[in-house]
Structure 1
Amino acid sequence: MTPSRFAVFGHPVAHSLSPRIHAAFGRQLGIALEYVAIDAEPSQFAQALAQFAARGGQGANVTLPLKEDAHALAASRSERAVRAGAVNTLVRREDGWFGDNTDGAGLVRDLTERHGLDLRGRRVLLLGAGGAARGVAPALLDAGVRDMVIVNRSPARADALADALGEPGRAYTRYWEDLHELGDFELIVNATAAGRQEEGAFVLPLSLVDSLTAAVDLNYGEAAIGFLAWARAAQCRDVIDGLGMLVEQAAEAFELWHGTRPRTEEIYADLRAHGRVLVGED
């Protein structure tokens, strides 16, 4: 039997743990599949995706910086992908690619089920307004957070995300330079890629933290070191990287493709135990 073909697209993408995760899911459930990483710059993404489809590709994950491009290329989209304005999962259908976004569901499942956090009533600071932030913002609002302040170094992108969410009383923007004036938050989510690019990228005001603050980085491995180091120094109550979210969003995508949901705790524990957490945000 010829294995079904899947891939993860990104730039860079060599770091991605997705091929390892989906191979483990396939073995767990006895499903034969081929899953590879394909590096594509934004200008090359449409062509690379078309070539993948022509070779029999049936589904794809999409990571930085291509999630908003994937949204534009999808012939149809789920409601959560429309709300996010970003796509991280593609399913091949007769009329073209169907786009979904499993990031938010993966994050909420990781925080509530694996880490035992109750998100209801929390004041949230979301750092970043790109594809990663777009993927998780709607799910956090649906999970019952009280309000969400979106801060991005490009204010226009933050405003665009807040407008797309359509809840002006709960989701609104502030300037990065004004972080010290925003008060404290029970949840701080880093959805930026700053940790990839510069040492000491996160020197944030300690006034953002209170006795209940959970600090969450959507990145994992080396890309999360800067933010997580700040969170520990600030004595945040919970300090969480993006590995659990990565595994949970992958399980959501796997279920879309194969109609059955894999168990996630086995692969999550394996990645932690064997130090296979490299660098990135899928």
Structure 2
Amino acid sequence: MINRYTVIGQPIAHSLSPVVHQLFGELTQRKIHYTRTEASPETFADTVIDWQKSGARGCNVTAPFKELAVEVSDRLSPNALRAGSVNTIHMHRDGSRVGHNTDGLGLVADIQSNLRRPLEGQRILLLGAGGAARGVMAPLLATKPALLHVANRTASKAELLSSLFEDLGAVSGSGFEELEGWDKFDIVINATTVSMNGGLPPLPEDIISHQSLAYDMTYSTRDTLFMGWCKARGASASNGLGMLVEQAAEAFLIWEGVRPKTRMAFPRLRELIS
């Protein structure tokens, strides 16, 4: 039997998820079929339910439906409950749907395992206070950084987000302008979409150093504006391709019971993208 999965989003044609999961199927010798499905906010819930009724085993959920996916799930994993968003739905044989969030686990795995940058004891700056940022807060704090500071254009949103996770570790929040005069951060993670839209978060020039890692959670075939800005100031930089692969591996583990060896997928994936 071939297990069927899909990724649901709007737009969705650009998604690399089918390529990644088909590679995982080959690496683990699992027979799967993975597709893309477009939906709208009005049709999302019915799309998920219809997909399950067709006999499918699960789906991934991408923008802008991760919060709606909470509502269509019957139960939530601890990560999804804490994040308030779902990017992976496991469709059980009893008809129930369990929502998971693997984004933060994927981010942490990419930084620590692939980029070989430890997070424990580090000063981390997280840019943005939306769903993408909230989804990675708990896994980042679980690594015990010296500080996780959330900065956002609207300071009150950053302060609210940080307050929701203050029981997990050293976390704070502010507006971008309040970063002036802060000590340099070891790791700066961009969870906004402004650089993909031709803009940049208004960051102080001295917020990073040549020892810093700049990480853009979006994935692209070329450097984003954020990555370019950080590289020009001596920092190393990475995009979110590794996060995409690692969070997909966590989803595959939930569905198929085995976690693919992601290092074996990267060479072929980069070749396909280029």
Instruction: State whether TM-score is above 0.5.
Output: yes
Q: 2:5: which partner in 1?
A: 6
1:127-158 Cα offsets, whole Å, 9 max, x none, are: 11222212211111111211111122344443
* Equivalent residue letter for 1:262: P
Q: 2:211: which partner in 1?
A: 212
Say which SS state the counterpart of residue 90 (structure 1) adopts. strand
* Equivalent residue letter for 1:41: S
Q: 1:280: which partner in 2?
A: none
* Equivalent residue letter for 1:130: G
Q: 1:32: which partner in 2?
A: 31
Q: 1:74: which partner in 2?
A: 73
* Equivalent residue letter for 2:35: V
1:87-125 Cα offsets, whole Å, 9 max, x none, are: 111101235210111111111111111111111111111
* Equivalent residue letter for 1:250: A
Is the Cα–Cα contact under 8 Å of residues 104 and 135 in structure 1 kept in the other structure?
A: yes
Is the Cα–Cα contact under 8 Å of residues 220 and 243 in structure 1 kept in the other structure?
A: yes
Q: 1:167: which partner in 2?
A: 167
Say which SS state the counterpart of residue 64 (structure 2) adopts. coil
Is the Cα–Cα contact under 8 Å of residues 28 and 260 in structure 2 kept in the other structure?
A: yes
CA distance, structure 2, for counterparts of residue 67 and residue 195 of structure 1: 21
Distance 1:119 1:169, change over 3 A: closer
Is the Cα–Cα contact under 8 Å of residues 144 and 169 in structure 2 kept in the other structure?
A: no
Q: How many residues align?
A: 273
Q: 1:252: which partner in 2?
A: 250
Residue 98 of structure 1 pairs with residue 98 of structure 2: yes
Long gaps (5+) in structure 2: none
Q: 2:17: which partner in 1?
A: 18
* Equivalent residue letter for 2:215: V
Q: 2:268: which partner in 1?
A: 270
1:192-216 Cα offsets, whole Å, 9 max, x none, are: 111232x243453221113421111
Long gaps (5+) in structure 1: 278-282
Q: Larger strand proportion, structure 1 or 2?
A: 1
* Equivalent residue letter for 1:189: I
CA distance, structure 1, for counterparts of residue 168 and residue 142 of structure 2: 15
* Equivalent residue letter for 1:54: K
CA distance, structure 1, for counterparts of residue 28 and residue 158 of structure 2: 41
* Identical-pair percentage: 37
Q: CA RMSD for the aligned pairs? A: 2.0
